[in-house]
Chain A
Amino acid sequence: MKKLSYALAAIVVLLAPLAARAHHSAALFDLTVRDNKVTGIVKKFEPRNPHTDIILEVTDAKGTRDITFEGHSRNNFYRSGWREGKVKVGDKITLIAAPRKDGGDGGYVVGVVCADGSQF
């Protein structure tokens, strides 16, 4: 039993960084939907390659919760107008995001309407 526990612990340790690193292709999202908008308060906005990490606190009919989004890469957002400091934690923003094909929370962010109304 102890050996099994060690083995399980080892698996958890091995999987932990993998789970954190997972990025997905846009294939999981319905990119034909171009007008899906989600508004909320920024809890995390980290433009990165290959995909940007975003967590938005959203309040809708389902209640208030944190939703994690993936989005275009930092390079893509840079070329469309994002600059360092343009989106800050606590800002109220709107994401333009292709929804998940499985209908779950989240999506693939292709555009952002910032707190000041500017867009990239």
Chain B
Amino acid sequence: MLHCIRAISTVLCAAGLTVASFAASAARPDFTGVWGTYRAPGQPPPVFGPQNRGNLPLRPEAKAKVDAYRALITPTGDTPGGWCLGGGMPSSMLGSGPYPMEIIQRDDVILIIYEAHTETRHVYLQQRAKEEDLFPDRNGYSVGRWEGDTLIIETTNLKEAVDQSQFPHSAAAKIVEEYTMQTNADGSKVLTAQMTLTDPDFYTETVRAEKKWSYLPGVRLLPYECNEATWEERLQQLRQQSQAKPH
């Protein structure tokens, strides 16, 4: 009899947890979809120009590194993107919009795919990798959690990146994004991210940025092949070498 009561309790408890979990999941906002450049209601699309880098509170050593990098690339206009390299965080996030991003939301992981360079971030909400299994990457390693309707993402394991378009950082950087979604009176949806970047090696204080996107119903992400020309040139080079060889 006791076994029977325990078994029933276990089943009810499991069912309760499942229902609670489902209810929490159902209550969360769903960010799934394609998001592009934010356009305020009734306003024309924004005109994009050079990034305003402002006066960042960089430490002298960091500023020297960043200045040296910018002096190097300014005469030719070279950028990572021009060489088919994704921007990495936070550029990948802050620069998205003209090239849209897609969010695929699941309970255990959220995928954020930026069309440009097909940069993909996995935001883990449940199982996390062991610290010793991680390695630095341009987009880092992201874990997320929900606090009410706000999705909070913390990103670490970043590579030092002086080539960031707005916020260069060291490998010690930690980026926190807080995502919320609003629905306007006309039914259109706006996603907002409040970002803070804390990096004691590069900055004397935390730096902040806000980014907004508009929901783009019916839009699909396009493939972003970027190295076709390089590959075709390599093939041509091999053909020429092959023809030049004595047979």
Contacts and interface: CB of A to CB of B under 8 A. Distances in A.
B82 A50 contact: yes
Interface in B220-247: 222, 224-226, 228-230, 233-234, 237
A17 B237 contact: yes
A78 B41 CA distance: 25
A48 B82 CA distance: 11
Contact of B82 (A51, A53, A75): A51
B97 to A, nearest CB: 12
Given A31-B49, A75-B224, A17 B82 contact: no
A36 interface: no
A20 B229 CA distance: 9
A89 interface: no
Nearest to B224: A49
A25 interface: yes
B77 A48 contact: no
Given A17-B230, A31-B49, A75-B99, A24 B82 contact: yes
Interface of B: 49-50, 74, 76-79, 81-84, 98-99, 115, 222, 224-226, 228-230, 233-234, 237
Of B76, B77, B234, most A-chain CB atoms within 10 Å = B77
A84 B50 CA distance: 31
Contacts of A25: 77-79, 81-82
Contacts of A28: 76-77
Of B82, B83, B224, B225, most A-chain CB atoms within 10 Å = B82
Contacts of A76: 98
A65 B185 CA distance: 56
Contacts of B78: 22, 24-25
Interface in A1-37: 16-17, 20-28, 31
Nearest to B229: A48
Contacts of B49: 31
Contacts of A79: 222
